[in-house]
Structure 1
């Protein structure tokens, strides 16, 4: 059965008239046009992906810059102010005097 169908298909294929030169050229042109359209579509897709990647990178950089700025601001807010030597000495003397006062009160 299969051999008979195969022979019938081959016979039908052989009976088909051969392509003319104009038909071949037309098919080549159509194939070239399809390939060109596919290449254009691939290029557009590649450009879209590159643009999306660049946008993601820009957002990432903006986020990192904002985080760094926030971190710097937090550090600046939490950092103790730099005291001069006179201010340090005055603070130390005040602590010493307060400690002396507490000891005096305990003895009474």
Structure 2
């Protein structure tokens, strides 16, 4: 039985040594690749920053375009309102002129009627 214990002990020692070697190689690889990893990290950060700047620029341009559209729409509405107001004033002026002509015509008819009445009374009297 002693022999199998030694074999087990040897196999465990070999496995532990292999594990230790793997861990050392991993740590060595980590320390050697640290500058590359930091460079890649810096590059990713630069890319992310540039992406964020482009997004902010797109949003700024979009906001400016939206403001310009709102301004143009406000100008268009103001112009339409001014045109409607001018048209209403013109219509009102035409109505007032028509009313004054009707009143003048009525006054002229009344004056003509009164003149005829006075002429008839003068002939009768």
Provide TM-score, normalisation by structure 1: 0.61
* Unpaired stretches in structure 2, ≥5 consecutive residues: 1-11, 111-125
Alignment equivalent of 1:18, drawn from 19, 24, 27: 24
Runs of 4+ with >3 A deviation:
21-25, 80-83, 95-98
Q: 1:95 to 1:46 in 2, by over 3 A?
A: farther
Determine which structure has the larger helix proportion and give its number: 2
Q: Which one has the largest radius of gyration?
A: 2
CA-atom RMSD in angstroms: 3.7
Stretches of structure 1 lacking an aligned partner (at least 5 in a row): 1-6
Task: Find the aligned partners of 1:44 and 1:52 in 2 and give their Cα distance.
Answer: 12
Aligned residues: 90
* Inter-partner Cα distance in structure 2 for 1:13 and 1:36: 33
TM-score, normalization: structure 2?
Answer: 0.54
Q: Which residue of 1 aligns with 2:101?
A: 94
